[in-house]
Amino acid sequence: MSHATTPRPMRATASGPLKGAVEVPGDKSISHRALIFGLLAVGETRVSGLLEGEDVLRTADAARALGATVEHLAPGEWRVRGMGVGTLLEPRGVLDFGNAGTGSRLMMGVVGGHPIRATFDGDASLRKRPMGRILDPLKKMGVEVMDCAEGNRLPLTIRGARDALPITYETPVPSAQIKSAILFAGLNAPGETTVIENEASRDHTEKLLAFFGAEVEVSKHGAHGRKIVLKGQPSLGPRPIIVPADPSSAAFPIVAALITPGSDIIVKSVMMNPLRVGLLITLQEMGADIVELERREEGGETVADLRVRHSALKGVDVPAERAPSMIDEYPVLAVAAAFAMGETRMNGLQELRVKESDRLAAVAAGLAVNGVEHQVMGDDLIVSGNGRAAKGGGNVETHMDHRIAMSFLVMGLASERPVGVDDVTFIATSFPDFLPLMARLGGKIS
Ligand code: S3P
């Protein structure tokens, strides 16, 4: 099991106006998928702008263990040589995904479509996360679970299907990880694999499947859902992938600028995929001064430079159906809400309980130690601000969760008293440059 590092506590103190233009690293979801598509395509896939965070590097190791040649050419530039769907090798050792739910779950789907056996493991956080949601559909496709920790958790060993069965599956929760695992397994199944989701989740897998030459049809399902039909056993041709900047990482400097008086920053080339912009919509409803400077297409996604200025925010009601498009952004939205005037109600946060930590509990505890009035009612979080700086002064437990650490450091930049976090090491899973980037903007974190 990985990540037995010594915790590194840090604290953020009230900072002067944040100023400057920054670019956050490549999108984590697309980076994992870029490596997986490189593994499954025949030939050489070039990737630019890959997020070189620990989570993604674990996926690179797993792709190597399954038979791909994965080379780091220059910062952000990678080359993957794969041999095609159906050709994966049985890995010799354990596939250790560290902290990464996405890497582990997507790779379970990849392995599940091949007649090979593999053991999946991760750190203490990943070992707590539910894997039954992935194993259930994979079992229907013919995957055998040979060994598994109690409650369908890691470490677990599966043997993929010799002839995977194409299935039709309605996901029990909106989850791009469940959807993608099924589609990856379905790549090596004869016939059509269908995934139905009642709330649309991020669509990077479907878009990349089409881009790499698979036959995939996406249609509407109900008011907010989608139906995805994939024709199995395609030959995937390699394509160059440009990874756009991660909106989930951009969220941190954006909220930092909104709550820190006098701030005026630009965050460059942020991916504006409609299934990822729930936080921006919510912040704009709260009165945030966020202006798109230039909208353009890059590598199959719309990106924009965003100018963000300090703003007087007001509380809003965030509808539950918006959750899939901002699922990773609630911790930092809770921080913004702490500085807003009035009540911000975030509805339907049940999925937050099974992320890198129980984020609903971790956010509530972080707000409590920093004197922010809030309430958890069932699966909803209500934060009450008075339009002034949060009190701060608390020490936040991060529970091996990068987004809890970054969110509360952002809070400390604009709070009356410093905000400490017990460990910043996990920030390296998704945003290795977070600390220097925030320092360049004028944030005081030490
Ligand atoms: C991801 C999907 C989301 C998200 C995670 C990345 C992906 O998880 O929280 O950080 O890349 O597919 P769920 O699918 O469990 O909602």
What element of type H or E holds 69?
strand 69-74
Domain ranges of the chain: 13-25+244-445
Cα(first)–Cα(last) distance of the chain, in Å?
A: 29
Q: Which of 327, 350, 359, 360 maximizes ligand 1 atoms within 8 Å of its Cβ, making it the mutation to test the pocket?
A: 327
The CA distances from residue 103 to 95, 168, 392, in Å, are 10, 23, 35
Q: What's the pLDDT score for residue 16?
A: 86
Whether the pLDDT of residue 169 is over 70: the answer is yes
The full DSSP string for 416-435 is: SB-EEES--GGGGGT-TTHH
Residue-wise pLDDT for 23-32, tens only, equals: 999 999 999 9
Q: Please identify, by atom number, the ligand 1 atom nearest to the C-alpha of residue 178.
A: 14
Is the Cβ atom of 176 under 6 angstroms away from ligand 1?
Answer: yes
Residue type, 260: T
Retrieve residue 377's tokens: 């009612």
> Which atom of ligand 1 is found nearest the CA of 174?
16
- Ligand 1: atom nearest CA of 175 is 14
In sequence order, what E strands does 189-340 have?
192-197, 216-221, 225-231, 241-242, 264-271, 289-298, 301-309, 317-318
Q: Which of 99, 202, 349, 350 to mutate to test the pocket of ligand 1 (most atoms within 8 A of CB)?
A: 202
How far, in Å, from the CA of 300 to the mean position of ligand 1? 20
| Dist CA 68 CA 84 (whole Å) | 10
CA of 263 to the centre of ligand 1 (A): 31
**29 CB less than 6 Å from ligand 1?**
yes
State yes or no: pLDDT of 213 exceeds 50.
Answer: yes
Q: Which atom of ligand 1 is nearest to the CA of 177?
A: 14
Residue 176 Cα to ligand 1 middle (Å): 6
Phi, psi angle pair for 335, to nearest 5° = -65, -45
For residue 99, what is the DSSP state?
A: T
Condensed to tens digits (0 to 9), the pLDDT of residues 318-349 reads: 999 999 999 999 999 999 999 999 999 999 99
Pocket of ligand 1 contains residue 259 by CB under 6 Å: no
pLDDT at 1: 43
- Residue-wise pLDDT tens digits, 388-428: 999 999 999 999 999 999 999 999 999 999 999 999 999 99
User: For 293-323, what is each residue's pLDDT tens digit?
Assistant: 989 998 899 999 999 999 999 999 999 999 9
For tokens 């890691």, what's the residue? Answer: 154
- Per the listing, tokens 């992938």 go with 241
Q: What is the pLDDT of residue 299?
A: 83
User: Model's pTM, two decimal places?
Assistant: 0.98
Q: Which of 28, 29, 246, 351 to mutate to test the pocket of ligand 1 (most atoms within 8 A of CB)?
A: 29
Q: How far apart are CA 119 and CA 142, in angstroms?
A: 17
Q: What is the mean pLDDT of residues 369-397?
A: 98
How far apart CA 155 and CA 1 sit, in angstroms, is 9
Given the candidates 3.65.10.10, 3.90.1150.10, 3.90.1640.10, 1.10.274.30, the CATH classification of the domain at 13-25+244-445 is 3.65.10.10
Tokens 């990464």 locate to 100
CB 145 within 8 A of CB 170: no
